[in-house]
Chains A and B, each alone.
Chain A
Amino acid sequence: MRFLTDNPASEPTSVLYTRCTVDLDSGGLLMEDVPCRNLEDVLGGFGRSFQMLAERDIRSAYVDANPLIINVGLLTGSHAMTGMRTYFSGYSPIKQSKKGLPAAMWSAGSGKFGAKLKWTGLDELVIENRSEQPVYIVIRETGDRPEVTLKPADHLLGMTTHEKIMALQEQYDDAHFAAIGPAGENWQNVYAGAVALSTVNQLKSKQDKVRFAGRGGMGSLMGYKNVLALVAQSSDKLGKTPEPIKKANINVIKGGGSARLQPIKRGGGGGTWAAYDVLQAFHAVPVNNFRPQGNDLPERLFRTKVEQQYEIKSEACYRCGITCHNNIHERNADGSAGAFLAKFDYEPLNLLGTNLGLHEAAQVAALIHLCDNYGMDAITTGVTVSYVLSYNQRHPEKPLLNGASFGDYDRIHDLVKRTGLGQLPEIGHGVKRLSESTGETDYAYHVKGLEIAAYQPETNPGYCWAIAGGHMSMGTYGMLAREGKTDLDSWVAAITRDKLQIVGFDMIGLCKFFDIVNGIGTDMVVDCLAAEHGLKVTREELQAAVKRAFLRGLALEIQQGYGKEEYCLPAEVTANPNHNITLPDLTTPEFLAELEKRVWEIFDREMQELI
């Protein structure tokens, strides 16, 4: 990026980002410096990509006119801790309105690919049309401009995400990688293909410790375009950390905000896995397709149980002191860590574990391993499989697919594996389509066509207004458990003002764990922008930019045919309330109707003002 001003909010056109547009049909490449239109463009991520997507008339995800936009944020590759995010945006194969139009989606991932991409000098790569032959794209730092080339990728076909990355590592020094797996390659039958991003740990250890841009099927879109991988090759650019950023980084670690995510051995909370313990206190851990039973089944996957048998290694992303990864290894006879099994984050652990009736760590690890290596979204896959199991429970006389039931590991493993290989479009096309084909939609746990995260919808009416991944684009998912608030005013304020600010992290290049409670409109971020880029931006300007980006996302949903009746929770929540959950019940029809009315009053007005 080039900064010809220190005031990007007032003079955004004096900030230019470097964009390369690749036309896979003609092989043409256009490298240009593009002036930013507004602060959202400056920040980057989906704040910029959604403005491009809004200009396109896209009726189906698998059309040449649907671009895949890969970009970074203003603080990707910076000295700020967690500044490593890459964003993938496009019209989604999986998320779709009832009118059949694809929703615009983004997903974000960590690892070191984003920093390496930024250090090539490229801020954004737009992939247009599709290639007849499989290719991978190399973005390389040169003395002058970044160089982008297309390379044949036939030799990568069929490889897992990890295998592709290992193969490319042999060829490219000082590089990091983004790759799809067999799921993305089988885009016709898998709409939730994910993009794997390499990590320093992975390249060093040769273990499949990747990170993912998982949600929304961006890996399937990449597969449709016949792009199997990306290589970002550049020298590392970080020198001495400026004092204000050092101070911010120390605050991230020691200030308390990320304490719950840090290793237990360091006095931290042990990462997102701890959500199991907390939610179980309210019997709100999803069990058997989001039907908690009020018993202690979820406790079998508590950390304290798993660590009796397995070694848990606390590891980190590149230069991140939070160290939130919980990597599960076999335990050798001498007590040392043996073979790597899987990374236990809350969502995949639950949605490929307890929510499928599986309570053995090794079995869940095997399913996570499959999703990671085939390159598919664990949330979409897990929730769609849990629907199958729930359907089969209801219809034992005529079950779906292989007749798998809750807890039936072998058959569940078969479903996940065959989905990843593109052999089961019934699952690969997601739970909305599957449930519509069976005619039983009440217990399909999606909102607006995207499968929900591992937070019971009874506890989170905010899901309805999430504009991308259900919990990462609307931060209300822990609100009821944490604060116990049941009044309308609190929920309206949370949805329309406070908790939507979480999406700011998917613009600026920082991981949400930088400051998940407060968003990016903080003094810490202001200081980082000043120290890293010499920019003067206020907290209020950042918050306003995030709000505008969010509203654009909402407006884009409506542009893609979403009716307001689609902003609703899965029907089973109100049709068959679960009294095992001991949190207050927010999902009475009266509460939800009034919440909808008040939220839309605000959002409708604000979208109008924005337009």
Chain B
Amino acid sequence: MKITVKLYAVLQVGRYREKVLDFPVETKVGAVVNSLDLPSEHVDILLVNGRHVDREFLLQDGDVLSLLPMVEGG
């Protein structure tokens, strides 16, 4: 299945903003995150089609997975 992965802020550095990637059917969000080799301390917010999910969420073909770092004040 095709998943559009969107990266935000520091997660884009040395990578991309958005890419369509192939994954097996019934891949979970956590598996996609692990496969992208992102710095774990920066992957904080997980969204699928704009909604908050956790790593156990099962993706469907055509989903948009957005990965963001935490919001910090100051």
Contacts and interface: CB of A to CB of B under 8 A. Distances in A.
Nearest to A284: B71
B13 interface: yes
Interface of A: 256, 259-261, 264, 267-272, 274-275, 277-279, 281, 304, 324, 345-347, 453, 455, 471-472, 477-478, 481-484, 512-513, 516, 582
A356 to B, nearest CB: 19
Contacts of A260: 10, 41-42, 44, 69-70, 72
Interface in B50-74: 50-52, 66, 68-74
B70 A278 contact: yes
B73 A267 contact: no
Contacts of B20: none
Nearest to A472: B73
A484 B71 CA distance: 12
Contacts of A261: 72
Nearest to B13: A264
Contact of A274 (B9, B39, B40): B9
A346 B9 CA distance: 14
Interface residues of B, number: 23
Contact of A281 (B8, B10, B41, B51): B8
A484 B69 contact: no
Contacts of B13: 264
A484 B51 contact: yes
Contact of A279 (B42, B47, B52, B71): B71
B31 interface: no
B74 A269 contact: no
B25 interface: no
B1 interface: no
Contact of A259 (B42, B45, B47): B42
Given A270-B9, A484-B52, A582-B50, A275 B68 contact: no
Contacts of B68: 277-278, 281
Contacts of A277: 8-9, 68
A279 B69 CA distance: 10
A324 B73 CA distance: 12
Contact of B74 (A256, A278, A304, A324): A324
A596 to B, nearest CB: 24
A269 B10 contact: yes
A269 B73 contact: no
B63 to A, nearest CB: 16
A277 to B, nearest CB: 4
Contacts of A264: 10, 13
A162 B9 CA distance: 33
Given A278-B68, A453-B73, A482-B71, A269 B9 contact: yes
Nearest to B74: A272
